Chains A and B, each alone.
Chain A
């Protein structure tokens, strides 16, 4: 008995308008003038995606051996490396690897700050005492905190993998590169202060994987995604249960509705 909300033609027009609005907005929200990063088929994509433990462990190794020379992750503690849904290090491994970092503590009873080996509860430290020192060591640029970087850039991990891997190329002829800057085709503006961090065989993977630039960029990007969204696996797992529950609940509601309404005309 119920008539349609509107004629079909209007609905089609409307659908077209929505598609156009969304479609055109997409690129604008992405990285300005830089090339869009190619989409990567991450293990954590999709509703059932999970992190690949080995990949995260390799990513941690790249972070530790390369990136930690300049960057910090102040929201991530070493103990998190043993949390469920993460790289899956054991508590003993975490203790050992935390100790390979040096952290500043204090003041002690003499009022002095002092250095000590890291403990599981410490956050990934910055190698620099403060922001000024970090800038001074990097030609004026600041190696920002990486805890949330995978969520703080459009295209997240895809962008990171592209930026750190294939992004560093020769500038096109005639490109005027600023003093102390490096060409990167995925960085907005194409000039980045970070020198190419990854070179072939820069790390020797414990699991024997060949350390190509692409491999390392991929692994460390996955690791940074975990660092930014450590509850990703828990979220998707709970999501599945909630969705199943809601489908059943909605089905029951629909059946009840049908029965209750059956003799209303």
Chain B
């Protein structure tokens, strides 16, 4: 289809651009995706930076990962040594590996903030439910990818983390053991396990790219939510994405890279576990097996569930852990309030912070041996985690009196001007 209304002035007047655009409308498409033809609410604050930052994280992971693979050997007897080879003999290998290892943590920090932003400002509510679903799928894919990536250096935590987590599936009745053996490709975590994890660790990021494209497509259907949580009423409420949000995102990128670089250059092993500098040894179990920090809240939920009637603690824990993520899919319907932004929901606003503290409490509990006070904290937080979604959210939506919503995004600004 020839593009009859292709723009012809300015940038598009350039003959090369014109020639390409006529045959393949890449420039106008990009312009509609993240350019001057994408109207964006003009009141987005810096919490809206974390989407583009997450995209940046994925790009960093893919680029560093592709080069790391050129020097890495996925074999139980060589993997650990090949990582040390990267650290010591490959030019800037240490930089690539520290970027990749810390990059995973950065990706999760950014995505967790992005999700919390969504929770606070009600970005999951109609008509953005599918956008939210795709986001939850992105989180799941990230978790699978991160977990399998941590196994690749074949250190003690790699091996024992993989053993503990894959063993979880054995809790399922009847099919449990066959599933575990199928995952392992044998009767223990061994070379076949390492090889398939490597293969999938390389594959899933590209699946992520695909899902992220859908996520962005869904986003463009109604555009970004905004801190007021009210719909855009007309052109006076929006500004073009470019240059306004490209430059605002660039500011965020600058601060993010400073934060990221601090870890790469000055604390590269802070977020890792020392045991992963010990080669994997199936005969020696580490004193405390802990996953990476970004799994700790879920690990805490896993360990917090006791035997309930006929359901064994292990099965209950696994169900609760996966349930903790699955429940996010129900969020658009569990939240009964019509008001999106917590700014206009006095009770819910406080409760989101309570919820965040709950998650931090879970993270703390997950990092400690499962006994004493940490275990109790883990149990309390697990109960509240589910109560928050299943009971608190529906109820608060019913009886809370929201404060008055502004008539439009630009109204507060216009009022302020009138007062001057």
Contact = CB atoms under 8 A, between A and B. Distances in A.
Interface of A: 1-3, 5-7, 10, 13-14, 17-18, 20-21, 24-25, 28-29, 32, 47, 75, 80, 147-148, 151-154, 156, 188, 228, 230-231, 234-236, 238-240, 242-243, 246-247, 249-250, 253-254, 256-257, 260-261, 264-265
A231 B84 CA distance: 12
A265 B84 CA distance: 54
Contacts of A253: 247, 250-251, 253-254
Contacts of A231: 87-88, 94
Given A188-B287, A230-B88, A243-B258, A21 B277 contact: no
B413 A21 contact: no
A135 to B, nearest CB: 13
Interface in B213-252: 227, 239, 243-244, 247-248, 250-251
Given A28-B368, A257-B248, A235 B257 contact: no
Contacts of A1: 43, 412-413, 416
Contacts of A256: 247, 250
A252 B137 CA distance: 36
B251 A24 contact: no
8 contacts: A13-B353, A28-B367, A151-B269, A235-B268, A246-B261, A249-B254, A250-B257, A260-B247
Range of interface residues on chain B? 35 or more
Given A29-B367, A239-B261, A254-B254, 7 more contacts: A2-B45, A5-B120, A75-B88, A151-B277, A235-B94, A239-B264, A249-B254
Interface of B: 42-43, 45, 47, 81, 84, 87-88, 94-95, 98, 120, 227, 239, 243-244, 247-248, 250-251, 253-255, 257-258, 261-262, 264-266, 268-269, 273-275, 277-278, 287-288, 343, 349-350, 353, 356-357, 360-361, 363-364, 367-369, 374, 410, 412-413, 416-417
A136 to B, nearest CB: 18
Given A75-B84, A152-B278, A153-B274, A250 B255 contact: yes
A20 B377 CA distance: 12
Interface-centre pick from B257, B277, B361, B368 (highest chain A CB count, 10 A):
B277
Majority-rule SS of A interface residues: helix
Nearest to A10: B353
B274 A151 contact: yes
Contact of B350 (A5, A10, A247, A261): A10
A151 B374 CA distance: 27
Contacts of B94: 231, 234-235
B265 A242 contact: yes
A47 B266 contact: yes
B258 A250 contact: yes
Contact of A14 (B87, B278, B356): B356
Contacts of B268: 235
Nearest to A31: B287
Contacts of B87: 231
B95 A254 contact: no
A260 B261 contact: no
A257 B247 contact: yes
Contacts of A260: 243-244, 247
A239 B258 contact: no
Contact of B95 (A20, A47, A238): A238
Contacts of B350: 10
Nearest to B277: A152
Contacts of A5: 45, 47, 120
B58 to A, nearest CB: 20
A236 B363 contact: no
A260 B247 CA distance: 8
A80 B363 CA distance: 41
A234 B257 CA distance: 19
Given A235-B94, A249-B254, A21 B363 contact: yes
Contacts of A3: 227, 343
Nearest to A261: B244
A152 B80 CA distance: 13
A243 B244 CA distance: 26
Contacts of A154: 274
Nearest to B362: A21
Nearest to A235: B265
A264 B239 contact: yes
B157 to A, nearest CB: 11
Given A6-B353, A25-B367, A151-B277, A239 B247 contact: no
